[in-house]
Structure formats: C-alpha cells, structure tokens
C-alpha cells in the first residue's frame, strides 16, 4: 500500500504557482485575483472558504471574500455576482455551495461569467469538458487527475468505478477518467444510490473513486487486491475528545481497505488539498488567459 499524499502534491503545485505569480509581478503583469462568495455561516463552508483564501495568501494571489447573510434574496446574490463579473480586477469567481434552499444553485452558477468560472460548474464549462475542449475543470475531479498524474498511477485500460453522480464530483470524474488522454483511457462504471449489485461491481474495479458522502461506506470486502482507492468523502462526525468537537471521515474504511490497495488517498490530506490546488491552477489560468 502506498499513500497518494495530496498535501504534498498540492504544496508542489502551489509552490510552482507562487514562482509563476512572482514572475508575473516582476514583469509588471497583473496577479491573479480570486473572489469567493459565502452565503450564511455553514460551518463546513466557512472552513473550505477560509482554506481557499489561505491558499491565495500562500501563493501570492489576491483574494476577496464576499460574505452575505443567509436570508439574502436570490436577486441580490445575482447582483453581487454581476458586480464581480464586470470588475476587471477579478479573474475568478466562486460561490461556495450549498446555498440556502430559497436560492437556485443552477441560476447562480449560470450567472457567473464563464471566463471567470474557476469552479468549472457553468454549463458552458461542463459542455467544453465533455467535448474535451480546454476549459475550467471542476476543482475536485481536476485535483484527482493531477494527483494521479503526479504519482504516475497507470489508468490506461483500467476499470474505474465511480460511486456518486453529483455534478461537482461523480459525473465530471466519470467523463475525465474515460477521456482519451492520460490520466484517463479508463473503462468507467458510474454507480449511484439505485445501482444494483454495487459490491460486485466494486470488486471488478481497478480504481475506485468514492464520492457518495457516506462515512466508511467502502469496506474491505468490496475491494479487489491491488486496487487504487480515491476517497472524496469528508463528513464531519462528532468526536467530543477533540477541541473542534468533530473529526473528518472519508467514504472509505481506511484501516481495513488500505492493506488491500496499491494506492490510497488518506482523509484528511488526500483529495481535499488537491481540490484547492486545482482551484488555484484554474484561477491562474483565468488570469493568464486575459492578461
């Protein structure tokens, strides 16, 4: 078993970006600027956005955090996005999800200027990704592809089983892994809550991407010897012994699955940091494309 160390790989990407940003600054060019909108004060969202802002600081990017009340109207939120769309200093915009129930996530995502859609959620970005055209790729699947690339994990001809069909992770992941560049060239099975015989399908997998959001769902008896395990889950479960009152659990039962795996991502320190590194790469690209 070998660890796919997302923390280390993400640091390497951020170090590279930091050098590129410093170079741009030396040449008198604009430095990348990420604007994040956070609606309400969901604990996990607060943590994720804070981590994104911190990554900007570490890499020499400019960042703006726009905080809006949980009861803000959809119209006001769309207005805030329009303001960032037209601000020439802002290169990338993200609206942290989930949003309060009274706001349509689809409407919000579609309002972001596709040229600033560093989360890669806009239908235009998704369409281009499906066609294999250059675009912003959603940060989590993009981060996973970068991690596989960094560790030279062989994917060609392998059977990848993706568990979870979210627009943010599962669906784009299945498309990227089945793509005709490397990493990729996998035969992909996309599983979800209505999949019959999930265990049997998982047992045929050379690569499992667990992105369903159920802690420790993937057990040792679902995994073939030598499989590559990518754990996207980060559920907070209560742990009174910790100062925070919770610990993070992945979708994979790490203790029992890891001895069977060839490669595995830990939680935390696997996919999470790669998501942020991928977002930074997208933001750099957004800046470089226009400036």
Residues assigned a catalytic role: 52, 96, 119
Should residue 168 be labelled a site residue for ligand GUN when binding is judged by CB under 6 A?
Answer: yes
Q: Report the Cα 179 to chain-centroid distance in Å.
A: 18
Least distance in Å: CB of 26 to ligand GUN?
31
DSSP 117-157: -TT--SHHHHHHHHHT-S-PPPHHHHHHHHHHHHTT---TT
* Phi and psi, residue 220, nearest 5°: -55, -35
- 59 vs 275 by CB, closer to ligand GUN: 275
Distance CA 210, CA 207 (A): 10
CA distances from 276 to 50, 109, 263, 269, 283 (A): 11, 19, 21, 12, 11
DSSP, res 225: T
Least distance in Å: CB of 199 to ligand GUN?
27
Nearest to 135 by CA among 121, 147, 148: 121
Single out the segment in contact with ligand GUN by CB under 6 A; choices: 78-86, 89-97, 260-268, 283-291.
Answer: 89-97
Least distance in Å: CB of 279 to ligand GUN?
7
Should residue 99 be labelled a site residue for ligand GUN when binding is judged by CB under 6 A?
Answer: no
Should residue 96 be labelled a site residue for ligand GUN when binding is judged by CB under 6 A?
Answer: yes
- 126 vs 168 by CB, closer to ligand GUN: 168
Least distance in Å: CB of 207 to ligand GUN?
21
DSSP, res 209: E
Should residue 139 be labelled a site residue for ligand GUN when binding is judged by CB under 6 A?
Answer: yes
Number of chain positions touching ligand GUN (CB under 6 A) = 9
Sequence-ordered alpha helix ranges (H) in the chain: 6-26, 43-59, 74-86, 105-111, 123-131, 139-150, 170-177, 198-203, 254-257, 271-290
Q: Are 267 and 215 in contact (CB under 8 A)?
A: no
- 117 vs 206 by CB, closer to ligand GUN: 117
Should residue 280 be labelled a site residue for ligand GUN when binding is judged by CB under 6 A?
Answer: no
- 63 vs 140 by CB, closer to ligand GUN: 140
Distance CA 291, CA 276 (A): 22
Single out the segment in contact with ligand GUN by CB under 6 A; choices: 21-29, 56-64, 92-100, 195-203.
Answer: 92-100
Q: In the set 63, 111, 135, 140, which binds ligand GUN (CB under 6 A)? A: 140
The site for ligand GUN (CB under 6 A) is made up of 94-97, 119, 139-140, 168, 275
């Amino acid at each position: 078993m070998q660890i796919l160390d997302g923390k280390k790989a993400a640091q390497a990407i951020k170090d590279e970006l930091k050098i590129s940003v410093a170079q741009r600054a030396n040449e008198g060019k604009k430095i990348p600027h990420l604007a994040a909108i956070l609606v309400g004060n969901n604990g996990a969202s607060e943590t994720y956005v804070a981590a994104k802002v911190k990554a900007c600081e570490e890499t020499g990017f400019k960042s703006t955090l726009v905080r809006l009340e949980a009861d803000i109207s959809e119209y006001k939120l769309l207005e805030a996005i329009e303001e960032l769309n037209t601000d020439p200093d802002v290169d990338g915009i993200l609206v942290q999800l989930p949003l309060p129930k009274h706001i349509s996530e689809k409407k919000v995502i579609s309002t972001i200027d596709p040229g600033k859609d560093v989360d890669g959620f806009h239908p235009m970005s998704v369409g281009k990704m499906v066609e294999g055209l250059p675009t912003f790729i959603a940060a989590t699947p993009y981060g996973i592809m970068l991690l596989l690339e960094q560790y030279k994990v062989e994917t060609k001809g392998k059977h990848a089983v993706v568990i979870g069909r979210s627009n943010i992770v599962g669906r784009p992941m299945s498309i990227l892994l089945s793509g005709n560049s490397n990493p990729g060239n996998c035969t992909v099975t996309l599983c979800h809550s209505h999949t019959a015989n999930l265990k049997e399908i998982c047992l045929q997998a050379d690569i499992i991407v667990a992105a369903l959001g159920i802690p420790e769902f993937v057990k040792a008896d679902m995994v073939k010897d030598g499989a590559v395990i990518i754990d996207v889950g980060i559920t907070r479960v209560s742990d009174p012994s910790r100062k925070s009152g919770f610990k993070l659990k992945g979708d994979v039962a790490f203790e029992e699955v890891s001895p069977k795996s060839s490669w595995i991502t830990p939680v935390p320190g696997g996919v999470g940091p790669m998501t942020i590194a991928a977002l930074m790469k997208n933001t750099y690209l957004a800046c470089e494309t226009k400036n």
